[in-house]
Amino acid sequence: MQGPAGILYDFNDGARVLLPEGRWRVALLDDDSGNILFHCESGAGWVTSAKKYFIRFRIQVWRGDETLPLLDEVLSLKDRDVLISFPVGTLGDLLGWFHYAERFRLQHGCRLECSMAQNIITLLEEQYPDIRFSVPSAAMRSPYATYRIGLFFGGNDTHQPVDFRQTGFHRIAGHILGVDHREEAPRLNLSATRTIAEPYVCIGVQSTCQAKFWNNGRGWAEVVTHLKTLGYRVLCIDRDPTTGQGFVWNHIPYGAEDFTGNLPLQARVDLLRHASFFIGLASGLSWLAWAAQIPVVLISGFSLPGAEFYTPWRVFSSHGCSGCWDSLNEKFDHQDYFWCPRHKGTERQFECTRLITGKQVNGVIDRLNAQLRENGNIH
């Protein structure tokens, strides 16, 4: 943005001021509280805020010893071009985050563009006609303001006002954008007709690191067998039939039908929409099932129950080590497929889910199944 006397400013990744030659004084304030966040004297060059999340910044610039500011700009997003940038290569994270962007658009009345992976754009864009979608390489080049949504590790307090581990990783988007951080599923196209006549349940058994898996060797087989005795077909809808690393590989459970494949996300939604329920991990397909508005039985121990969306069918064991993902004392290692920060290499490795038994999960399934039958929701 062009200010007086050749001063340039905007609100991309925080408040930014580019000063021409001269002698200047600059103040960056939080206009809602009146707090001065930064104040300095400067010659030509950049002055930028340390904080990058949404703050209603006020930029003030004085020339020399003048008493009245030459530039006095308060962030106002109404009818402005705003970019919210999401990371690519993730499904569950973005499904958990996205509706905060719509909440932000409605709150500020801005012209919003969201940058993300093309497969997510295809899933969402028809449901949000007032938002422009783009892949990162084609995102707008000169917005008035930019906000970046992501998981910021290491106690980062520049891109997020609170640590995501303290609030649930999906709710951090609400905190970054300064909107109501109560969770809400994104809107999806749920109009597909049913294609399978029999009652069926979808399952997702694969994930991106071993800590997220259900590391009970008998668990999935016991659950599949139990589901069949209840009269359900069991469809495994993971992208890959087998995932793993080194000497550990995770396969489709015995007895489940192979519906795996790298299909469009909408095809997965169409199948999930008519499933009686979904059983999965703290991974993307569970979030997709949540957005498809069906019951989700979610099995996880490396994360605490509040880390994901609310489901009354959350399965968790308190009998061993748990919750390393949410601990402020642990640092997640993206490069370590077998990350288990407290017990790696011992007989207790991955006990957070090893201690979740098939009996425990089947008990949750029985309660859910009884409720569905009582409400007439099994077809």
Give the catalytic positions in this structure: 93
- Backbone φ and ψ for 219, nearest 5 degrees, come out as -60, -55
Query: Does an H or E element contain 45, and which?
Result: strand 45-48
Query: Does an H or E element contain 270, and which?
Result: helix 265-272
- Among 88, 90, 98, 357, CA closest to 209: 90
CA 245 from chain center: how many Å? 25
* Long-range pairs, 226-232, Cβ under 8 A, ≥24: 226/358, 226/362, 226/365, 227/201, 227/365, 228/255, 230/365, 230/369, 231/199, 232/198, 232/199, 232/200, 232/201, 232/276
Lookup: tokens for 175: 């905190």
306 HSE (CA, 13 A, CB side): 10
Residue type, 293: Q
User: Could you tell me the CA-to-CA distances from 133 to 33, 80, 186 in Å, in that order?
Assistant: 33, 16, 15
